[in-house]
Amino acid sequence: MPEEIKQLVEEYRGGKLSRREFIQKAVVLTGSLVAATTLIDTLGSTYAAQVDPKDPGLTSKDVEFKGPGGTISGYLTEPKAGGKHPAVIVIHENGGLTDHIRDVARRFAKEGFVALAPDFLSRKGGTEKLNPKGGGLSNIRELAPEANVAEDVGAAVAYLKTLPEVGNVGLTGFCWGGQQAFNAATQVKGLKAVVVYYGRTPNPPELIEKIEAPVMAHYGGEDKPISDNAPATAEKMKEYHKQFTYKIYPGAKHAFNNDTNADRYNPEAAKEAWAKTVDFFKTNLKG
């Protein structure tokens, strides 16, 4: 795939282009409307999961729970083994609740967590309605404003607390979801740990004062200006006496954990970040 088209695909998947804008630019690069529309349709291709949806060691299912804006759909996966488990809420990327995010949830379940991946597009009809072919939604911020996401995270915490097998609750998010996780941490009570994957700092940064849980953040070295702002974020967290640890992974791009995107996926960075994430949650959610 030529570099110009690769860059165009990255911009679309990153939510920087609408479908119409993508097609207009792709027509110029490919010289054909048919080729352009075929290209965008392939972006929702089948995903090979790391953890089988029917993994015999897990119980995985679609769920619904009540939120301030109505019913929230989601995906719940947990170890079949009995007893109490810590829980992790997973905030999806700007494509909505995709097979990839369900797989990420199952990866947490394989590590011994109850994992809940809500569909934060539920208020507008859900991911299947709004984004049936996948790809990034350029209007995700209008479809799921920060205030609504934070409210729905709070509802997810409340729902998990009704499950007898759930102990302490943590929160993570990726890309758009990383920013939403960081922001939700300034508003939602009851969180015991937060992990941010390449997400922007809460705006204004003074909101950091309201964070209760320790925070870990992962940034791609090539993901500027987000990674460039990490030291300032660390200083602000220190100013408000908040626990914060982060790493910038050299050579890694935005969305380096997303193994559905060959142009961005960085297996070395993803593996290290995942190990740190699991250890961080196990340490802070125990008890």
Reported as a single tens digit per residue, the pLDDT across 34-56 is 888 777 766 654 567 899 999 99
- State the pLDDT confidence band at 13, using cuts at 50, 70 and 90: low
**Choice among 103, 119, 152, 223 that is catalytic:** 223
Q: Give 13's contacts (C-beta < 8 A, 6+ positions apart).
A: 43, 95, 135, 136, 255, 261, 264
**Choice among 85, 92, 100, 254 that is catalytic:** 254
Residue 190 tokens, joined = 């009851």
Output the pTM of the full model: 0.85
Is 254 an active-site residue? yes
Residue 261 has pLDDT above 90, yes or no: no
Determine the pLDDT at residue 129.
95
Residue 273 has pLDDT above 90, yes or no: yes
Enumerate helices (H) and strands (E) in the chain, giving the number of each.
10, 8
Residue 1 has pLDDT above 70, yes or no: no
Classify residue 79 by its DSSP letter: E
Q: What structural domains and CATH numbers belong to the chain?
A: 1-43 (no CATH), 48-284 (3.40.50.1820)
- State the pLDDT confidence band at 20, using cuts at 50, 70 and 90: confident
Among residues 268, 239, 266, which one has the least CA distance to residue 255? 266
- State the pLDDT confidence band at 182, using cuts at 50, 70 and 90: very high
Q: ∠ CA 97-165-48 to the nearest 5 degrees?
A: 30
**Choice among 152, 175, 218, 259 that is catalytic:** 175
Residue 177 has pLDDT above 70, yes or no: yes
How far is 104 from 10, CA to CA, in rounded Å? 21
How far is 172 from 207, CA to CA, in rounded Å? 18
Determine the pLDDT at residue 14.
57
- Please check whether residue 199 is in contact with residue 227, taking contact to mean a CB–CB distance below 8 angstroms: no
Determine the pLDDT at residue 55.
96
User: With b meaning 16 or more CB within 10 Å and e meaning fewer, what string describes 81-99?
Assistant: eeeebbbbbbbbbbbbbbb
Is 52 an active-site residue? no
Is 92 an active-site residue? no
